[in-house]
Structures are given as structure tokens and as C-alpha cells.
Amino acid sequence: MAGSTTSPPGRKTPRFGLGADGTSSPLMLMVKIVGLSLVAAVAVWAALPLIRTDNWWGLAILVGVTALAFYVYLSPRTVPMKYLLPGTLFLIAFQVVPVVYTVSTAFTNFGDGHRGTKEQAITAIEGASVKQVPDSEIYTLTLATDGDAATGDIVFLLGEPSTGDSYVGTADGLEPLEEGSFEAATPGGKITAADDYTVLTVEEVNARQDDITAFSVPTDDGAIKSQGLSAAFEGAPQQSYDEECDCVTDATTGNVWVADDEEGSFVSEDGSQRNLAQGWKVNVGFDNFTRIFTDDTIRDSLLRIVAWNFAFAILTVVITFALGLLVAIALNNPLMRGRTLYRSFIILPYAMPAVAMYLVWREMFNQDFGLVNRILGTDINWFGTTPSSMFAILLIQLWLGYNYMFLVITGALQSIPSDLVEAAGVDGAKPFYAFRTITFPLLLVALAPLLITSFAFNFNNFAAIFLTSRGGPFPPDNPDAGGTDILITYTYRIAFGGSGADYGFAAAVSVLIFLIVATVSIVSFRRTQVLEEIN
């Protein structure tokens, strides 16, 4: 049977082409032609911007993928691939590539202050140290971008009041604006609109404050920097890079910082100054991983977090399973009336939007206004201490999860042959004994894969923590690792938290999480022999 599925017996092996896999009806041929034309059309549409921006690597990949699609759908030998190709392409583009990228980031120091190349770091350092040259020109400034307000590159639209000229300043330098391509209040005054550029509103300026502060327009004498939101000045850099010594020197103080290519930073030559804030991205090997296990603060909080992470995931599975089992057995009673009604209401939480319900629960546990405190007549700050916070989180998890367990256990109970239990009853076994020795083991075997999946899901259940306790309460000495943090919320805080992004380290912890979950899952799947059954 295997291998013979591509063509019916007695037919010649078809050749390459539209009817290659036996497609013969006019309708199906039409569908195929339309489908492949769409692929071609999308490819052409996608190619245009790539050509415009000279992105030849991107274009090569695009051409390759399109050719592959045509080959797969026109060849008679690639039948399994015809069904796998769309999903695989999406999987590679939006899951595999980001994962590979993340893993490679784990071996770098990528993060705030270490984003770009060394050249970019030097430009930024020189640009940031620009001080106004005496008697230099003050320009009127309009902030704009060359594209979308939120993502386009910042540009300065500049007017020079003394001469009446107008310029556009980009990261490449200063260029005069053509007459008629812009609107200004007066010659050399504030520019209100310009072709090809989007003038930013006050809100948009606020959103991009950091980009604007870091931006400068290089000129012959130094650079143009913004001064507030509507003026810019030309100035000369105080700190400049010298290729000879591979170092940065401060003209006023005479301090020298030498480039350290291992660390990706400019390090003070005599050790008297701190490293320059702006560094560049370098490969740091296993440094991030060593840091996890050797840095005292990180190691201590990490041990605690890992322990709670396991407890959280295991307890969630255990309590939801236990309550689901109890309710499923109670309702699996053929004599009982109104079972459908009970069932519909009991599983209702499973159908509710979880994000909203986490937030509702959080507010029910609110100390001042919450329903829980009002009903109990207490004044407990539920998310204020670690034990009460853990209790609240687990209760919420129970509410959100036991319905699902109830559903699947009910299904599994009905699929266990009733004659087994009846036979045990005939042999004199008491109901509980029969349940413990026959029904329960069969249930566990049937549901083991689901329980493992549930564990793996809850191990990384970001929303359950982030939307309720936010990982808190936080000990005063370590605001980065809260009492109910699990690895993934902890990592999120390192990567995006207030105290500066450290993507490299966050990526290393992600890899660690992946290893833990993968190991636990593979070991338990092996034990339940699910993997052995792939046939």
C-alpha cells in the first residue's frame, strides 16, 4: 500500500504539468490555474519593493520559494508536499526563523546600549556629545519622518531664518529642500508640510522621544541636534573617535575610552570613568548562560522561580484534573436528571474570553473594592503577600481549567467499556475499588498526553501571572524577581522591563525554558509510549 498512493494502478506515470497528478476535470484544472496565477501575482507584488530597495537576498528567497511552489504543484512526484507546503512556509517564516534568531541572540549582548554595529555606536557617541559651537546658526525645526509616523526614520525639516533657506536633514546629511515641495510660514520659518515626509503631531513626537533625542544630522563641522521641539543648532562633537588608537577621546576633559571588542563597549583607559553608555553588539559565547548560574542574585531568585514554576504548573494540572474528575464522575450518573443543563453551565468558563476573565478575577481580589473581600468581610491584600497571591492564582487557574478537564474526562469515561467495571462488580469488587483499579488507570492512560500538554502549556502560562499578580509581590531588595514570578514573566521583565532591555540574557533564559519544557515533555511522552506509536 505504501508508496503506491500517487497514481491509480493501470495508469501511465504522468508527466510534469497541470494534469500531472491525475487532475482531469475542467473545474479542477481551472482551480489549479487560478491558484498558481495568484501565487505568481503575489510574488510579483512582493518583488517590487525588494527590487526598489536593492534587497537582492530577499528577492532570491522570494524567487526560490515561488519556483518551489510551482514545482510542487506541477510535479507528479510531490503529492505529500502539495498538502504540506502552505503550512510549512508559514511555520518557517513566523516560528522557525524567530526561534533561530532568538537562539542566536542568546549568544550576544544584544540589548539597550548594544543594538547596532561599532560604526553606528561611534556615530551615536559623537552625535550625542555635540555641544553648540559659539555663534553658530539656530535653525527652526519641524520633526518629521520619511514614511509612517510610528516606524519611519526621523528627519529634521530645517529653516534658516538668516538666509531664508530650507533644508531636510537625514542621517546621511543636510540637503536643501526644493522650491515648491514644502510649505513654510515665512521663508526660512517653520515648515508645516513637505512632500515625501510625514510631519509629526505632538503625540507622535512624544511616542518617539528617544529616537529624536538620539538623532543628529552630520555636517562638515559636526552635527545638527534638536533643542526642544522647534529649534536645532549646529555643534561640534566633544567626544571623537580615533581609528589609530581605536579609542574615543573627550576634547574637554581629555578622558580616553578604548574599544573592547570582547565586551562591545568603550572602556575607560585608566579605569577612572564608567564605560560609555553606547556600545555595540558582539558575540559573547556562553556568557549569558554562565551568568544565569554564577551571578548570585540571579541564581538565588532563579532557583526560587523555577521551584514555583514547577509547583504552579503541576498544581494547576493536579487540581483541575481532580475537580474535573470529581464532577465528571458525579455527573456521569445515568439516573440523574438535567445533566445537559448542569454540563452547559459548568463548562461556560471555558468558553469565556480568558484575557477578560483573568482581569475580572484580578479585580475580584482587589483589596479595596474587590468582591471577595466584601463577601468574606475581610480586608486582605490578596496580591500583597506571596502565599495569598499564590492561593489566588491557583484558584483562578482552577476556575479556568477544571471545565476543560471535566469535558475530556467525561468523554474518556464514556469510552471506557462498561463491561469491565460490571465484571469487577460481579466478582465482588466494591465500586470505589473497581474505580481505583480499573477506571482510574484506564483514564490516566487515555488522558496522559493531554495532561502533559496541559503541563507544558501552564509552565509558560504568561497571562495567568502577568494579568493577575504581575509576578508580585516584589521583595524590596530585588525588584526584578517577584514572589509569584514564573520563568516566562521574569524573562519578559528582563527583556522589556523598566531597568533597561537585555535581549541577549532574556533569550538565554528562553532557551533554558525551552530545554526544561522539552525535556519534561519528551521524558513523559516516552514513558507513556505515545511516541512509539507513530506509524
Contact call for residue 352 and another protein (CB under 8 A): yes
Closest CA to 403 of 365, 357, 435, 469: 357
| Phi, then psi, of 129 in degrees rounded to 5 | -90, 10
Strand partners, 194: 182, 197
Q: Which of 168, 327, 392, 393 binds another protein (CB under 8 A)?
A: 327
* Chain centroid to CA 406: 32
Which residues, 6 or more positions from 14, have their beta carbon under 8 angstroms from its beta carbon? 7, 20, 21, 22, 76
Closer of 193 and 372 to another protein (Cβ): 372
Residues 70-99 that bind another protein (CB under 8 A): 79-84, 86-88, 90-91, 93-99
Q: Exposed, middle or buried by CB within 10 Å (0-12, 13-18, 19+), for 372? A: middle
CA-atom Rg of the chain in angstroms? 32
Closer of 247 and 347 to another protein (Cβ): 347
Q: Which stretch binds another protein (CB under 8 A): 211-219, 280-288, 378-386, 411-419?
A: 411-419
Residue 496 CB, nearest distance to another protein (Å)? Answer: 8
Residue 157 CB, nearest distance to another protein (Å)? Answer: 21
Contact call for residue 513 and another protein (CB under 8 A): yes
Contact call for residue 330 and another protein (CB under 8 A): yes
Residues 161-200 that bind another protein (CB under 8 A): none
Residue 256 CB, nearest distance to another protein (Å)? Answer: 34
**The C-alpha cell of 273 is what?**
570613568
Contact call for residue 495 and another protein (CB under 8 A): yes
CA angle 189, 194, 200 (to 5 degrees): 85
Q: Which stretch binds another protein (CB under 8 A): 43-51, 118-126, 257-265, 474-482?
A: 43-51
Closer of 311 and 355 to another protein (Cβ): 355
Contact call for residue 460 and another protein (CB under 8 A): yes
Number of amino acids touching another protein (CB under 8 A): 115
**The C-alpha cell of 226 is what?**
534638536
Closer of 24 and 272 to another protein (Cβ): 24
Closest CA to 384 of 376, 392, 374, 396: 392
Residues 142-161 that bind another protein (CB under 8 A): 147-148, 150-151
Half-sphere exposure of 101 (CA within 13 A, CB side): 9
Closest CA to 333 of 413, 238, 399: 413
Contact call for residue 489 and another protein (CB under 8 A): no
Residue 267 CB, nearest distance to another protein (Å)? Answer: 27
Rounded Cα distance between 292 and 487, Å, is 12
Contact call for residue 56 and another protein (CB under 8 A): no
Residue 467 CB, nearest distance to another protein (Å)? Answer: 8
Closer of 251 and 356 to another protein (Cβ): 356
Residues 262-301 that bind another protein (CB under 8 A): none
Contact call for residue 410 and another protein (CB under 8 A): yes
Contact call for residue 350 and another protein (CB under 8 A): yes
Rounded Cα distance between 450 and 458, Å, is 12
Reduced to 3 states (helix: H, G, I; strand: E, B; else coil), residue 490 is helix
Contact call for residue 447 and another protein (CB under 8 A): yes
Contact call for residue 28 and another protein (CB under 8 A): yes
Contact, 134 vs 235, CB < 8 A?
Answer: no
Residue with cell 570613568: 273
Contact, 372 vs 365, CB < 8 A?
Answer: yes
Closer of 102 and 381 to another protein (Cβ): 102
Alpha-helical segments (H) within 75-201: 79-91, 97-105, 118-128
Contact call for residue 317 and another protein (CB under 8 A): no
Residue 253 CB, nearest distance to another protein (Å)? Answer: 36
Residue 353 CB, nearest distance to another protein (Å)? Answer: 5
Residue 319 CB, nearest distance to another protein (Å)? Answer: 12
Rounded Cα distance between 370 and 365, Å, is 5
Residue with cell 513626537: 205
Rounded Cα distance between 346 and 339, Å, is 10
What is the b/e burial string over 304-317, where b = at least 16 CB atoms within 10 angstroms of the residue's CB? ebbebbbebbebbb
DSSP state of 53: T
Q: Which stretch binds another protein (CB under 8 A): 6-14, 211-219, 235-243, 301-309?
A: 6-14
Q: Which stretch binds another protein (CB under 8 A): 1-9, 165-173, 264-272, 306-314?
A: 1-9
Binding mask 358-377 for another protein (x = CB under 8 A): -xxx-xx-x-xxxx---x--
Contact call for residue 498 and another protein (CB under 8 A): no
Contact call for residue 21 and another protein (CB under 8 A): yes
